[in-house]
Structure 1
Amino acid sequence: MAVLPKTINFYMDSWLENAGIIGLTRILDVEDYEINDDQLIVKTTVFKTINNSFFQYFINTYGQYTHYYKIISWLPKIIAIEKLGFDKYTFQDYQACVKWFNNNVRYFIKTSSYKQMRPLAHSEIPIEEYLENATNLFKKLSKNKWQDKNVNLKKELTVLFGELKKIVQYFANDTNKRYFLAKSLGYRYINKGWNGISFLNNQSKIVNLYQDYQEYFVQPVIDFLSENHEKAKIKCTTCGRKMRSNEKIGYSFLNGMGYDYRKRNSNGYKFNSDQFLCPICRLMYSAVPAGFTYNLKGNHGFFVNQTGYNLNNLYNANNNFLEVLTESFEGANKVSPWYGFYEVFKKEFNKSKQNMFVNVQIVNRKNEQYHFNIISEVAANVLRKAEKQRSDGQEKITILDVLNNAFIFEYQGVESFMIFDEVIMRILNQTNMNNLVNKLLFLKILNRRGVYITPMQILDIVELNTILFNEMDVTKLDIKILSKVYGDGKKFAQKYKLNPDKEKILIYQLLQALKIQNQKKTMNLLLSCYLRQQESIPNEFMQKMENKEEFKQLVYAFITGLISGKKEGKVDEK
């Protein structure tokens, strides 16, 4: 058998190769690789354990946020309750236990992850018997029994918790955790980068996914490095290494990349594809899912493609992003990767006081598609100024921070329409927020259910919009004026207490006039509004008539103040 080289090199290139390289650094131990300018140098000794390291990364990073971890996290609680002897155990405690069992244990045993890995996870242990016993015991412990003093609840709870402890101990076993979690996370995170091959191929005959990864991705690299390819005629499209025809594979296993040349050969030049990967590059691309940073649901992933061909910079930017986002996961179901991006931006700016993210490419995968953004100098300046601008005089909260808990339930085809995401996207794309502000104000006057945003938060969006316009040299408006006009609107609503229907009609007319960019009609509405009360219109409107965008932002601030003058319920932060 030929001796393998001590190391293999991976070079920075496009965002896809870079994501694979960052994925390898996260999978491997620090002592197993070296970073040198634009290349990653990996020791070939890792081939003995890389299949374990691959899955262990996902388990360590995302495992604790799964239903599986919610099962095993109850072990200390079960033991503590048993020690107390159920003396202080209430019906409410029991209901919480039933909910945990149904939402996690019963949920997990119905998943394909459980069914497929069960033969490998101590199949000799009769876990199905434990589950059936616990289910029957739960059914017997009805509410009537808790109220019947003749029933020995303590005895029945002792038997129930004995079964529950056996179930949780089974799942908490290291071997079982290794298989169940790896399979679950494969469906939740790994398949976002690639699919249809190895352990993600439904037709695979290898049950052990660790073995499957080793045989499909790792062993071909060992074989490839062991052989001489001087006379080989096919070249890898990514790295240029020569290979034989039996060693090649297409790009189609990567989501959104390439096509299956065996099924669609008409897509190739003269019906022949020349886009092939060598086993080494295939191994690198298998790490792409690890290079991305995902949200809790795994449906939105981010990769920061730092320019400059400096692997250390790329490494630091993405690891900072991963650290910030995973720290935010604790107790938060709606944490967005865009929030993680902004936190990293703030961190880098406060550290260097420079726009380190200018011209950096942001790759985000959402709804099974890749989306790309380049952070322009304008966008970076807006984010930098937004970081300095505090919300409502608060010292530690910026005008972007306060938007993180604002969302609309079931809006535009999504369960939770995150306002923070929408605002960040518009800043990066240098798209104004006029229609967003218009929609939000319109939804507020309609009292639509599920709109969790306050007038003060809408004012923050208007301020951000003005900062964006100022950076694009469209306006030169001091955002402090917006707060003053917002106050004027609030005072007007509180002082004159308009008829609710008339107030809605006024706001609706103002929003419609702004939407169709009818400045004359907007001004007439404002004038008539103040003239009816024998008041002078605020000077700011008259002074900014010449600049349509400046005038528009002032009117939005005024309308927001009008709405804020009414009694507002608290924003639900759940």
Structure 2
Amino acid sequence: MGKYLVTMGDFLKNAGIVGLNYMLDMSDAESGKDYGIKMQNRPVDGLELYEQGLWIDEDFVQQCDWTGMYFDACVNYYGDSTVYKGILDRINKIICKIDNDQWKPDKLVKEDKEDIKFINDKLLSNSYKAGFENIRNEVDGSEIYVNLQQNKLNAKSTSQELKQRLEGIKNFIMQPKCKETFVMKSVIYNYINRFWDGKCFLLRANAKKDMRILFEQDFTKPFKEYIRTNHDKDKDMCIDCGRPMGNKERVSIAFMKDMADDLARKKSAFWNCKVDAFLCPACAFVYAASPLGFTLLGQRFAFMNTNSSINQLLACNSRSGKIVTEAEKKEAERYTQWFARMLKQLMDCKVEQLNNIQVILKGTDEKDKYIFSVISNEALQTFNDEKVRKALEYLGEYPYTRIGADYLIFRRISLHKNWSRLS
């Protein structure tokens, strides 16, 4: 078999490519053998077509555990910003207080009570209960969680009794299967469903079903089958990549939020009311990976979109950075650091021509919409100046940097309009 090329497209498709590349980078896949970057001319009907994208070896596609890769990537990237991390932090904090004789059941402060309540409430949420039911026969110590359901943690218990229960809960939820299940419950309902919904584990009827099985059925299996099937006689075309597909392979693009209405009911936007906005299974899989392409900065997602180069796209949306989850008051600092770091990486690509760059923001609230801004070619030329690039390097590490007697501060005027300057 050959190589399957995932070509660049709209900003969500490009975010999916960044997410897919992140999945491959953190897996056992071998760069240059199992996947890689393609940038070359290809003759089509006597013309030279410049073709670029992320290629994947088709044999590798069939052998790979894409479901496992997707879940591992989500847990690795979003794990520290989930309720699961908050539960572990509070358990460790209470145990530390008990060990240092700072936990007084008869003299509890408000913070101590709130920590116990947080652990109880989050571990016994409906999503966690549903997740537990799917794995209770696959993990050790299920009785610990069952006991918690029947007898919540009590802040007035003796210190040793509380410590024993907390250590048991900690050991239970830190099992790989438990961690994945509980983290993914948070990721699904707080991050993934900001980008796509109404399908797979985000279909309301599937709330209590096994998440891995659902993803395998809805995305991984169709993806593999599509790659290995011959489509020469198929007549339907993917609205994104333009490849042919069978009628039963079509995936409605309506599962992507803010991209299309319910196409089963609202058909008036199409010629003769005939809906043709369908994705092939391969593009659908890439779109499903789009939440891994955005960077989470406090209460917003951010993505820097460029169609001029696949190398640029991957460089200015590097997944190497760690999600920062400090107090809300520092969110602006995190944003300026991200913006400066991404621009610096973009300039390091040393491209011959700099084109306008689209920056997409989306709040983490369920009702938030995409916000689009553009960094103009003129601004990029300024950023490409050697002195400004040095300033960006400093700002990527520190949001407020002093060089000699001068302070370099990157200010953002408005999310809805244009981007300000270095001063």
Deviations 1:156-175 (A, max 9, x none): 21112212222222222221
Name the CA shift for 1:158/1:193 in 2 (closer, same or farther; >3 Å): same
| 1:19–1:285 distance in 2 versus 1, CA, 3 Å | same
- CA deviation digits over 1:501-547, x for unaligned, max 9? xxxxxxxxxxxxxxxxxxxxxxxxxxxxxxxxxxxxxxxxxxxxxxx
CA separation of 1:356 and 1:68: change in aligned 2, threshold 3 A: farther
Instruction: Name the structure 2 match of 1:125.
Output: 143
Confirm or deny that 1:101 pairs with 2:101: no
Shift of 1:303: 1.5
Normalising by structure 2, report the TM-score: 0.78
Counterpart-to-counterpart distance in 1, 2:236 and 2:403: 63
Which residue pairs with 1:342 in the alignment?
Answer: 339
Task: State the Cα distance separating 1:331 from its structure 2 match.
Answer: 5.4
Aligned twin of 2:244:
242
Instruction: Give the secondary structure class of the aligned counterpart of 1:73.
Output: helix
> Unaligned 5+ residue runs, structure 1?
142-155, 402-419, 431-463, 468-478, 480-574
Report the equivalent of 2:221: 219
- Map of 2:258 onto structure 1: 256
Partners in 2 of 1:88 and 1:275 — Cα distance?
61
Please tell me whether the aligned partners of residues 17 and 286 of structure 2 are also in contact (alpha carbons under 8 angstroms).
yes
Following the alignment from structure 2 to structure 1, what is the Cα–Cα distance between the partners of residues 406 and 331?
17
Matched residue type, 1:16: L
Name the CA shift for 1:335/1:247 in 2 (closer, same or farther; >3 Å): same
Q: Cα offset for 1:341?
A: 4.1
After superposition, give the CA deviation of every residue in 1:117-150 in whole Å (9 maximum; x if it has no partner): 1202426424242365453x42x46xxxxxxxxx
User: How many residue pairs get matched?
Assistant: 385
Instruction: Decide whether aligned partners of structure 1 residues 273 and 27 sit closer, same or farther in structure 2, where only a CA change above 3 A counts.
Output: same
After superposition, give the CA deviation of every residue in 1:402-431 in whole Å (9 maximum; x if it has no partner): xxxxxxxxxxxxxxxxxx544576543x7x
Cα distance, 1:198 vs. partner?
A: 0.6
Write the distance in 2 (CA, Å) between the matches of 1:245 and 1:115: 38
Shift of 1:178: 0.9
- 1:114 pairs with 125, 128, 133, which one? 128
Deviates more, 1:55-64 or 1:121-130: 121-130
**Residues 71 and 269 from structure 1, CA distance in 2 versus in 1: closer, same or farther, beyond 3 angstroms?**
same
Show the counterpart of 1:51. Answer: 67
Bigger Rg, which one: 1
Distance change (3 Å), C-alpha of 1:75 and 1:115: closer
Identical aligned pairs, as a percentage?
24
Q: Which runs of 5+ in 2 are unaligned?
A: 40-51
Structure 1 residues 411-455: Cα deviation after superposition (integer angstroms, max 9, x where no partner): xxxxxxxxx544576543x7xxxxxxxxxxxxxxxxxxxxxxxxx
Relative to structure 2, which stretch is displaced further, 176-185 or 391-400? 391-400
- Give the distance between the partners of 1:186 and 1:393, measured in 2 at CA: 41
Q: Which residue of 1 aligns with 2:77?
A: 61
Matches within 5 A, 1:189-338: 189-204=191-206, 207-297=209-299, 300-308=300-308, 310-319=309-318, 322-324=319-321, 326=322, 328-330=324-326, 334-336=330-332, 338=335
RMSD: 3.6
Match of 2:167 in 1: 165
Q: How do 1:502-513 residues align onto structure 2 when only pairs under 5 Å count?
A: none
One-letter amino acid of the counterpart of residue 292, structure 2: A
Per-residue displacement from partner, 1:309-357 (whole Å, max 9, x unpaired)? x2122111100xx545x36445566425742443225634896999986
Report what 2:189 is aligned to: 187
Q: Does 1:11 align with 2:11?
A: no
Counterpart among 3, 27, 41 of residue 55 in structure 2: 41
Query: What residue identity is the alignment partner of 2:5?
Result: N
CA contact (8 A) 1:78 1:165 kept: no
Match of 2:362 in 1: 365
Could you say which residue in structure 2 is the equivalent of 1:72?
88
Q: Which residue of 2 aligns with 1:476?
A: none
Superposition map of 1:351-362 within 5 A? 359-362=356-359
Amino acid at match of 2:80: Q
The aligned amino acid for 1:342 is F
- 1:73 shift after superposition: 3.3
SS class of match (2:273): coil
Cα distance in 2, alignment partners of residues 67 and 93 from structure 1:
27
**Greater strand share, structure number:** 2
In structure 2, what is the Cα distance between the partners aligned to 1:49 and 1:316?
Answer: 26
The CA deviation at 1:268 is: 1.7
CA separation of 1:353/1:76 partners in 2, compared to 1, >3 Å: closer, same or farther? same
Question: Contact 2:8 / 2:307 at 8 angstroms: preserved in 1?
Answer: no
CA contact (8 A) 1:348 1:356 kept: no
Q: Secondary structure at the match of 1:342?
A: helix
